Structure 1
Amino acid sequence: MIAEVASSGDAITTADGSSMAVLVRGCDPVMAQRAGLMLPPLLGGAQLVSATDDDSFFQLLDSRKFDAVLFAPGACRFSAAKQTIPGGNAATRHWTLEEYRAKVLETQGAEVPIVETVEERLIVPLTRKALGLD
């Protein structure tokens, strides 16, 4: 999976995203750690802030404005399969991305881009587009 993400950055321009921050809601802490190291250079130096549980995710949503919110492919696959996204809490136990989107819009505003994909190879190009780096 990591190789798919990394290969999607092969034709990247050098646009500066260093003043931007992306909030990522994922499911796997190990993947979140790896992505946190690998993705910023592919996103023009944008800061990546990850959460793998809803309590942390909602706290982060309330703490500041983000330039984009990314739902990791694993979370998107769970939602597409109508399965509970790992890391939920009692209030979000049966949420799909539809409810998460509503929460993001409620806390971040309608102007924040939300990136969703079930394909790792699309994370970089979709996030770069959301940040206006392409």
Structure 2
Amino acid sequence: MVSFAQRVQGAIYGTAYGDAMGAVVEKMTYSEIKEKYGRVETTQTKWWKADWPEAARQGRMRGQGIITDDTLMTLALMNVYVTERRHLDAYDMANEFVKEIAFRPTVYSGIRPGSAHYGSIVLSREAYFQSACAREL
């Protein structure tokens, strides 16, 4: 039988992998995706803007397994659930979620915002699940 912790783990990995794959084609039309990639079937896909000058892509980099703020926000929200251990309300969002995204350091698998590997998909089991699932969600 699949445990609740395993289901949570699957949801997090599904979010992160889907985000990493989808980030490559974000803002592209279906026709543009079809023309450029055919299908995106791996996290190791090169981003269509990767060769643009850094200023033109606003310092961002996608593709090659890099996640976006969507995954980081999901993890931040999960941290709030772990902290509160109940259904969240607007006050929790205003209080704990703001603290989580604005003031607490983000470290998943030893990766910090601003580092060369920021947003990398290497979310090890130890990095997130020991902190969340070990507290018995």
- Fold-level similarity (TM above 0.5): no
Q: Which one has the largest radius of gyration?
A: 2
TM-score bin (small chain): under 0.3
The structure that is strand-richer by fraction is 1
